[in-house]
Structure 1
Amino acid sequence: MTNTTRPKIVVLGGGTGMPVLLRGLKDYPIDLSTIVTVADDGGSTGQLREMIETPAPGDIRNVIASLANVDQELYELFQHRFNVSNGLSGHSLGNIVLIAMSSITGNFYEAVKEVSVMFNVKGNIYPIVNEAVTLHAEMEDGTIVSGESKIPMKNKKIKRVFLTPDHLTPMPNVVEAILDADLVVISPGSLYTSILPNLIIKDVVDALNQTTAKTVYVCNIMTQPGETNDFSAADHVKAIYNHIGRNSIDSIIVHNQPIAKNLLIEYEKQNASPVTYNLSSLKQLGLEVYEEDIIDHNHPMIRHNTEKLAKIIFQMASDKIKKY
């Protein structure tokens, strides 16, 4: 790895947690690469996948939007979701743009690159693979559930997740980015349906084990019904270890302050609760623990604070390159 004054940060993830993290990071002097899941099959993405055999565009669209440097009108246009009584209803314009560009270029990754240029995106955006994939979950009772959006709906304890087709090969840029990074960040998000689909591909596992980068997991603030019911921070890490091996993570960022009761009421109705942690349990898992107040106290929902997280992550990456 070449020592530079700009830390090389790679963020893996998907769903709604990843864009929150990226919005803060894009303003720092870093070389940023994002690796994004394409296993989503719900909503507009699911409908488009049924019509056209394509990697899921939804999570990619949100990452492009979070890293875009365009005026507000163009941002809102890209993220616009149609609410009409015809075939466009529910579709995001950004998803349609990505599929259209994929048709023009003949390649989904080339489409992502072209749209990223159009929106003056900070950094590189890599779909984890360049083909349509399906996520499956084996439950503790032995049943198999197929489809990212269907897995949480079963509300069963998940034993493992896996992808088809078998023996998937990630984009070459994905492996190169991980191997060349100073810091690899596993973003917050749905553990089994947004985070693990990026991590379980063999070449990615190998790259995570071989890289000299420090790997940090940004733990979720709240549990997710149907995926991580009653999970502690250690349970989140153990689920990752069970899929890709122990010691694949070096450190973890956890929220360490009480959450306002008025914010918790709606979550309690959905059987979601704050993710608790035990410092000694996390250290026994081989982790360096960063305990911080990482909630956005100005948001009406419980969300990570993008500025606080970005500052912590940038400092971690800067400290890493100082050692070289």
Structure 2
Amino acid sequence: MSNRHKVIRRPKIVVIGGGTGLSVMLRGLKEKPLDITAIVTVADDGGSSGILRNELQIPPPGDIRNVLMALADAEPLLTDVLQYRFKSVPGLAGHSLGNLMLAAMTDISGDFVTGVRELSRVLAVRGRVLPAADQAIVLKAEMADGSIVTGESMIPKAGQAIRRVFLEPVDVEPLQEAVEAIEQADAILIGPGSLYTSIIPNLIVPKLANAIVDSEAVKLFVCNVMTQPGETDNYSVGDHLEAIYKHIGHHLFDYVIVNDGEIPPQVKSKYAAMGAKAVHLDLDAVTEKGYKVIADRLVLFRTFLRHDAERLSHHIYKLVENWMIRKR
């Protein structure tokens, strides 16, 4: 068969993280011809997720729900219904309907992973959504003064610099499907999201980290636009990368994607009042470590600053496409 008539398969991309930033980015990526697997943190212990986690002994569903919604091909009304959060109903206040549905699917199917798979089918999700592990993980942090803070939701409230985060149990087993997805990936994409409570918790699951290090896929890091109070105060792009390096012991990434678009003064002021500021791009320090930097205007502002999903996904797809061409 001639090269012209060869069927070119969709690149396999594994996206790892959690939180709002991951969901925003996936809304753009699902429009590209990519075979997407999202591996999502299960360390959340706050809000509705924390309650369901404790009462039903299931992994926290919140980040998984957001990723399912982002990748779903369902009618907008259905996704709005699943994101609906009860306000004043006794016993339901604070819970989102999607979280309750994931809990119900887990009960019906017998385990959380199968529940996620079944809800993915109902929502016509483009790709696969996998928890990093099939059990809830307790995240702990050692702070600058040596004290230990327990719980993902408590770490940013400690009011100190974070020295390191670690898991309990330390030898938590990752989902085998997640390891296999990494082993088969053409591209591995990490971020954006809370550095110490959404990104690093996935990377310190031992076998997941080893699979990423061993992979020959192109590895991309999407850096946050703004610092996060209590987690990354005054962090530069290089500081984000250094924190990951200290936890993993490897320079994981080939490319770092960062925003260099101007943020309007009134938006800066709004974030400054919350203790956040734009993440500084220390370009020389980053490139000296061997990272290739892709910088562009990647932000949109509505109520909050968010990544421009369309522009960001364009850069990611072009990087992956070029990598695939070079590999042929």
TM-score range with shorter-chain normalisation?
Answer: over 0.9
Moved >4 Å (runs of 4+)? none
Q: Which residue of the other structure, out of 20, 26, 30, is the alignment partner of 1:16? A: 20
Q: What is the match of residue 69 of structure 1?
A: 73
How do 1:167-246 and structure 2 match up within 5 A? 167-246=171-250
Deviation at 1:158, TM superposition (A): 0.4
State the secondary structure of the residue aligned to 1:90.
Answer: coil
Once the two structures are superposed, what CA deviation does each residue of 1:113-150 show, in whole Å capped at 9, x if it has no partner?
Answer: 00000000000111000012111111111100011000
Q: What is the match of residue 82 of structure 1?
A: 86
Whether contact under 8 Å (1:60, 1:127) holds in the other structure is yes
Q: Which residue of the other structure, out of 295, 301, 306, is the alignment partner of 1:303? A: 306
State the secondary structure of the residue aligned to 2:306.
Answer: coil
Whether contact under 8 Å (2:59, 2:136) holds in the other structure is yes
Deviation at 1:4, TM superposition (A): 4.3
Whether contact under 8 Å (2:140, 2:166) holds in the other structure is yes
Q: Which residue of the other structure, out of 316, 319, 324, is the alignment partner of 1:313? A: 316
- Output the CA distance in 1 between the equivalents of 2:203 and 2:8: 27
State the secondary structure of the residue aligned to 2:299.
Answer: coil
Deviation at 1:286, TM superposition (A): 1.6
| Sequence identity percentage | 44
**TM-score for both structures, normalised by structure 2:** 0.96
Deviation at 1:308, TM superposition (A): 0.6
How do 1:150-169 and structure 2 match up within 5 A? 150-169=154-173
Deviation at 1:85, TM superposition (A): 4.2
1:322 is aligned to 2:325: yes
Select between 173-182 and 112-121 the one with higher mean Cα deviation. 173-182
Number of equivalenced pairs: 321
In structure 1, the gaps of 5 or more residues are none
State the secondary structure of the residue aligned to 1:300.
Answer: coil
Deviation at 1:279, TM superposition (A): 1.3
In structure 2, the gaps of 5 or more residues are 1-6
- Output the CA distance in 2 between the equivalents of 1:184 and 1:197: 16
- Output the CA distance in 2 between the equivalents of 1:115 and 1:272: 36
* Superposition RMSD in Å: 1.1
Deviation at 1:266, TM superposition (A): 1.4
How do 1:221-300 and structure 2 match up within 5 A? 221-297=225-301, 299-300=302-303
State the secondary structure of the residue aligned to 1:296.
Answer: strand
Task: Give the counterpart letter for 2:315 in structure 1.
Answer: I
Q: What is the match of residue 138 of structure 1?
A: 142
Whether contact under 8 Å (2:43, 2:201) holds in the other structure is yes
**TM-score for both structures, normalised by structure 1:** 0.97
